[in-house]
């Protein structure tokens, strides 16, 4: 793993991933061992690996599978349901299943066609439906937190897209934890610091059977395009993706996106020149001048 300057054998890798996950869960205050976690599973490598990791770490985690009714010539939904169910059964875990067609009358592609949202692509209807169902299930079944399998590649691509157009509101909300509010479940992303290929390696090494195919509607999406761009960047500069994401979180924490409150609030006049500064003592300019005027030693 060039980005971490680390090489591990299979055995140690399988220990390293849960250890890191536990670290992120604690660091971002995601949930504790008394909380009931609902994991949104799609049958893909990330969500099934997340469920596997949480169980290995001793958390109380149940799964939620949402049947979207997407076929795409590969039986996408039925196959992903089968693999999710198989994963749960083999480990004696609880999987809640919500079938969109059974519950709301139509599968996603038909809902999308009828509502004409999203310019011929069902993704906006699909995303809206998934968010709604996940919230409803978490609330109705009394879960404390909803966990999704978004990895670093997913998060960096969303961040990249939002940054290109400076989507302030989205930038304020993107992060490993989205606090719950009235009627909305608390949402967390425990895998957000793992590269996609790290999750693939984990799933394979653990022998998790998952659906290899992407949803047929994902083809040609902007998020895939952004992922490709970021991968080019990553191969020239290992670690660039992680830095992009982590520095964003840091910048936000330190008030970059809250000019009115934190950043401006902590401005004070430099004791020497009187110009506003955020650094604790002298402003950066005065510090520089002071430094160059120091007698050489």
Which residues in this chain contact ligand Q46 in the complex, by CB under 6 A? 122-123, 126-127, 215, 217-218
Closest to ligand Q46 by CB, 30 vs 215, is 215
242: left (phi over 0), alpha (psi -120 to 50) or beta: alpha
Shortest reach from residue 124's CB to ligand Q46, in Å: 8
Closest to ligand Q46 by CB, 54 vs 108, is 108
Token code pair at residue 59: 């958390």
Answer yes or no: are the C-beta atoms of 65 and 95 closer than 8 Å: yes
Shortest reach from residue 183's CB to ligand Q46, in Å: 23
How far CA 72 is from CA of 75, 127, 181, 214, in Å, comes to: 6, 18, 36, 10
Give bridge partners of residue 268 from the DSSP assignment.
277
Closest to ligand Q46 by CB, 127 vs 265, is 127
Answer yes or no: are the C-beta atoms of 71 and 35 closer than 8 Å: no
Closest to ligand Q46 by CB, 111 vs 188, is 111
Shortest reach from residue 1's CB to ligand Q46, in Å: 26
Shortest reach from residue 118's CB to ligand Q46, in Å: 9
Closest to ligand Q46 by CB, 174 vs 277, is 174
Integer Cα distance of 216 and 239 in angstroms: 30
Shortest reach from residue 126's CB to ligand Q46, in Å: 3
| Angle between the N-to-C axes of helices 76-91 and 45-56, in degrees from 0 to 180, rounded to the nearest 10 | 10
């Amino acid at each position: 793993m060039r980005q971490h300057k680390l090489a591990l054998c299979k055995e140690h890798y399988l220990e390293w991933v849960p250890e890191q996950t536990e670290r992120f869960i604690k660091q971002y205050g995601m949930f504790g061992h008394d909380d009931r976690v609902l994991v949104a599973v799609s049958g893909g490598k990330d969500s099934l690996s997340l469920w596997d990791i949480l169980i290995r770490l001793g958390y109380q985690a149940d799964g939620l599978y949402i049947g979207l009714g997407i076929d795409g010539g590969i039986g996408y939904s039925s196959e992903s349901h089968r693999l999710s169910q198989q994963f749960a059964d083999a480990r004696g875990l609880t999987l809640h299943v919500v079938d969109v067609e059974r519950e709301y009358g139509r599968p996603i592609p038909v809902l999308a066609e009828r509502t004409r949202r999203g310019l011929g692509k069902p993704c906006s209807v699909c995303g809206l439906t998934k968010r709604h169902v996940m919230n409803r299930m978490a609330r109705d079944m009394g879960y404390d937190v909803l966990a999704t399998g978004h990895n670093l590649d997913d998060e960096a691509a969303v961040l990249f897209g939002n940054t290109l157009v400076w989507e302030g509101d989205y930038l304020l909300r993107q992060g490993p934890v989205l606090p719950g509010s009235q009627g909305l479940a608390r949402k967390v992303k425990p895998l957000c610091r793992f590269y996609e290929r790290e999750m693939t390696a984990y799933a394979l090494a653990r022998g998790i059977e998952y659906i290899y195919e992407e949803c047929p509607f994902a083809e040609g999406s902007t998020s895939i395009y952004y992922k490709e761009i970021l991968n080019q960047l990553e191969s020239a500069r290992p670690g660039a993706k992680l830095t992009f994401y982590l520095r964003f979180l840091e910048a936000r924490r330190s008030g970059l996106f809250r000019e009115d409150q934190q950043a401006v609030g902590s401005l004070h006049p430099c004791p020497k020149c009187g110009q506003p500064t955020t650094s604790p003592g002298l402003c950066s300019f005065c510090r520089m001048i002071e430094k160059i005027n120091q007698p050489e030693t």
